[in-house]
Amino acid sequence: MAPRKLAAGNWKMNGTLASLAEVEALAEAHPAPSCDVLICPPATLIHALASRIAGRGIKVGGQDCHASHSGAHTGDLAASQLADVGASHVILGHSERRADHGETSGAIAAKARAAHEAGLVAIICLGETEAERDAGQTLDVIAGQLAASLPEGATAANTVIAYEPVWAIGTGRTPSSEQIAEVHALLRADLSKTLADGADISLLYGGSVKPSNAAGIFAIPHVNGALVGGASLKAADFGPIVAALSAA
């Protein structure tokens, strides 16, 4: 088994029911891509999106889940609830969650375990800050986050790793090919040592991915796809990224 190619769109806190027309347009323009395509809209849109694109080759995911299966957690969602309304994946540990909500790698590992138990694929996000990059700490930070965020029972079938340098998210700045390659090589080496099928886990790059730089990013060793933010909101932007990954 080789790592699966995945183009994942993270809509963050954007989109309404009217926005789902963009996903339908994406499905029409790219009816049979040679990669997996995933859209992670706000939780309010998961069921509607899953219903509208059923059987059209696009998967639907959530942007977070709670580590518990149920309980007194106002405003939170269980992984099983995401699966119940049509999600197949869930993004966990995004830097915005780590920063805005104080999520630790240990908490993310607990959420990933819950996701696995619910039958969801956990997309675990890792990334260094600009200060950590400037201090030469990138590889130590990423290795530490990976070790602490990866739950027992992780496999290539239920886990995806996304490297998103915090300083590149939504800024228009992108690391050099050498910087991306260095981190992805570390991830592949550590996963291969830790897990029996670590060589087959999909590794995504995220952070200001757009049509103009996608092909170059996908040519980097051990980059199996992308976690895309703003450019995933419109079919005209996300479609060329999907096409570039299909051709990679």
Determine whether 178 is exposed, middle or buried from the number of CB atoms within 10 Å of its CB (0-12, 13-18, 19+).
Answer: exposed
SS3 46: helix
Quote the tokens at residue 170: 């939504």
SS3 225: strand
Residue in 219, 143, 205 with CA at minimum distance from that of residue 174: 205
Q: What is the DSSP letter of 102?
A: -
Give me the catalytic one of 22, 96, 103, 164.
Answer: 164
| 164 in catalytic set | yes
Cα 5 to Cα 62, 105, 202: the distances in Å are: 19, 25, 7
| 73 in catalytic set | no
Phi, psi dihedral angles at 60 (to 5 degrees) = -125, 140
SS3 121: strand
Determine whether 223 is exposed, middle or buried from the number of CB atoms within 10 Å of its CB (0-12, 13-18, 19+).
Answer: buried
Quote the tokens at residue 94: 């995004």
Contact in structure between 158 and 121 (CB atoms under 8 Å): yes
Give me the catalytic one of 94, 116, 184, 222.
Answer: 94
Q: Which residues contact 56 (CB under 8 A, 6 or more apart)?
A: 27, 31
For tokens 């190619």, what's the residue?
5
Any idea which residues carry the catalytic annotation? Answer: 94, 164
